[in-house]
Structure 1
Amino acid sequence: MTSANPAYVLTLNCANRPGIVAAVATALFEAGGNIQEAQQFDDTATHRFFMRVVFDVAADIAIEALQQAVTPVAQRFGMGWTLRPKGAKRRVMLLVSKFDHCLADLLYRWRIGELPMELAGIVSNHPLETYAHLDFTGVPFHHLPVTRATKMEQETEIWRLFQESGSDLMVLARYMQVLSDGLAAKLPGRCINIHHSFLPGFKGARPYHQAHARGVKLIGATAHFVTADLDEGPIIEQDVERISHADTAEDLIRKGRDIERRVLARAISFYLEDRIILNGNKTVVFTG
């Protein structure tokens, strides 16, 4: 095998039992695979096993042959699994509101190649001129204003755009609207939100003001998958920063913007690299 050979990422999870690793390795070897990286986790609380494998194959081996090799093992162990070309870019749709620091950061990381994705579009409940200082060249922009009376119609349009653009992932990059239960239910494991607080504390609106009122010494941000339960979806990534009694609520907001940017970018990167596997209301994240 050489570095020019195509590489694939296999992720799997199933009830834990002896022989899983050996069976997977044997199946890949017999299909012509050469394992480059393997990570695994046995959740003793749920008795479930999780694994991420990166391997390459000769250029003439099709993905269908690899799928046929893995399928009998998956059936034998009752696995949930995915197999994707390592270099395949996912299509990502960004939802934003007035606060644009996460949007600006994601656009920058995308343009320099740090986030290997295809931007399917930007959806905002604010007009294009709100972001006049940002470069949207090559990225479709959709202004979808929303009121309480028009929420269902607006979300219907969001879902239409998501499907017609072939998007794989929806990112709420400080989108200050709560998704309806109906839309959230259509996106299990495919919608990431950045919450400007270290969940599960300080949920909902104005978390930095809540934190300031409580005199906290650490503030943070949380990236999680969206579910029908507000701010309670499976957590993907978090980070914190120390603050002091001298910091105002405005200082916390300013410092929080930096945390939000890096936490959201890391969570998206983990998703793009197939490093996240759902584990009930939690996640297993193979960070390398």
Structure 2
Amino acid sequence: MSQPVHALFLVSAPDQPGLVARLASFFYAGGLNIIDASNHTDIHAEGGARFFMRLVVDLAGLSTPAASKALRGSATRGALETAFGELSASISADWSVRYTDVVQRVAILVTKDPACLYDLVLRQRAGELNCEIPLIISNHPTLEPVAESFRIPFVCLPVTPETKQDQERRLLELAAQHHVDLVVLARYMQILTAGFLEAAPPVINIHHGFLPAFQGAKPYHQAHARGVKLIGATAHYATQDLDQGPIIEQDVARVTHALGPEELTRVGRDVERVVLSRAVRAHLERRVIVAGRRTIVL
């Protein structure tokens, strides 16, 4: 039995009376059932209060006469998007839509640490992350056996300061060739340039700790030297401002003075795996709206 197909709409608009009613009425008029909806109004938004909404719409109703009538005789996804775009323009809204029968394709970038890579692939294979992983890319060959064990194509692109521009150009070519919708930096220990990030699909990164604490090499040794009581991780969208992108997910684990750097590293890896997978899942499920330097996760 085939799975029902849903449209996932994300909407952001200046707050105003009647927004929920107008959006709901649009789908009601076309005989389309809203099976899930969540919204939030940020009263502290710069420039005035702003409204955010996520709508999950059952597309089975597109085959009904009501939909055809409401969409001017063309009950298609294209016609639905055109009509919704007109409504959105009337309320000065930004919006986007994806469909659940179009599976997103995720490229994973790694260096030498396999923890987050294993976690993402296992969750994808278990059905927790609804996506395809068409390739794994690394600047070192270390994790090629991991990719081979899951029968995922592996591409090694070494990088030096002199070859960085060509390496990133090749990364973009591979992303386009494999129709990649999302890039995940699963402990990829390279700084991406602004030019790459402007041309690439969305990029999610994982950072050890609450940004911007303990930047640089050996973060857990730094944490041990400072006697920290919490180990944290932050998943965020990568931007040209290093480790300053909009935060999607964070979490912590309590630790004590009894743990050495190696134990802290182990605890940290556990937190990183969970935080990164949550962020990737939120993105794939279309729960994240970027609002300036922050996110609204619905």
Q: TM-score, normalised by structure 2?
A: 0.90
Alignment match, 1:56: 58
1:45 aligns with 2:44: yes
Superposed CA deviations along residues 147-190 of structure 1, whole A, max 9, x for unmatched, are: 111111111100111112110101000000011121122247x1
CA pair 186-133 structure 1, distance change in 2 beyond 3 A = closer
- 1:203 and 2:202 equivalent? no
Please point out which of 109, 117, 129 is paired with 1:103: 117
How far is the alpha carbon of 1:140 from its aligned partner?
1.8
Shift of 1:14: 1.3
Instruction: Give the corresponding residue for 2:135.
Output: 121
Q: How does 1:218-233 map to 2 (within 5 A)?
A: 218-233=230-245
For residues 227 and 177 of structure 1, the distance between their equivalents in structure 2, rounded to whole angstroms, comes to 13
* Counterpart residue number, 2:270: 258
**Given the alignment of the two structures, is residue 249 of structure 1 paired with residue 261 of structure 2, yes or no?**
yes
For residue 171 of structure 1, the aligned residue among 184, 193, 198 is 184
SS at match of 1:118: strand
Report the alpha carbon displacement of residue 4 of structure 1 after superposing the two structures with TM. Answer: 5.8
Distance in 1 of aligned mates of 2:17 and 2:280: 33
Q: Does structure 2 retain, via aligned residues, the 8 Å contact 1:169–1:191?
A: yes
Could you give the per-residue CA deviations for residues 201-254 of structure 1, whole angstroms, max 9, x where no partner exists? 223333222222221100111100000111110000011000001111111111
Distance in 1, matches of 2:196 and 2:149, equals 26
Asked if the contact 1:235/1:283 (under 8 Å) is kept, the reply is yes
**Alpha-carbon displacement from aligned partner over 1:95-132 (angstroms, at most 9, x marks no partner):** 000011100111111112111101121100111x5442
**Counterpart-to-counterpart distance in 2, 1:174 and 1:81:** 31
SS in 2 for 1:14: strand
CA deviation profile, 1:31-57 (whole Å, cap 9, x unmatched): 221111110010111111100011213
Contact kept, 8 Å, 2:114 with 2:143, in 1: the verdict is: no
What amino acid maps onto 1:176 in structure 2? M
Is the CA contact (8 Å cut-off) linking 1:31 and 1:66 kept in structure 2?
Answer: no
1:71 corresponds, among 85, 96, 99, to 85
Q: Which residue of 2 aligns with 1:147?
A: 160
Partner of 2:30: 31
Q: Distance in 2 between matches of 1:284 and 1:39?
A: 11
- The worse-fitting range, judged by mean Cα deviation, of 32-41 and 85-94 is 85-94
Q: How many residues align?
A: 282
Q: CA RMSD in A?
A: 1.7
**Residues 131-155 of structure 1, C-alpha deviation per residue, up to 9 Å, x if partnerless?**
4255444422111011111111111
Distance 1:138 1:65 in 2: 40
Q: List structure 1 segments (4+ residues) > 3 angstroms apart after TM superposition.
A: 133-138
| Structure 1: unaligned runs, 5 residues or longer | none
CA contact (8 A) 1:91 1:117 kept: yes
Please give the alpha-carbon distance, in whole angstroms, between the structure 2 residues aligned to 1:124 and 1:89: 24
Secondary structure in 2 matching 1:255? helix
Paired residue secondary structure (2:56): strand
Contact persistence 1:28–1:69 (CA under 8 A)? no
Tell me which of 94, 97, 101 is aligned to 1:80. Answer: 94
Q: Which residue of 1 is the match for residue 66 of structure 2?
A: none
The percent of aligned pairs where both chains have the same amino acid is 46
Give the 3-state SS of the residue equivalent to 1:121 in structure 2: strand
The answer for the alignment partner of 2:12 in structure 1 is 13
Higher mean displacement: 208-217 or 61-70: 61-70
CA gap 1:75/1:56 in 2 versus in 1, 3 angstroms: same
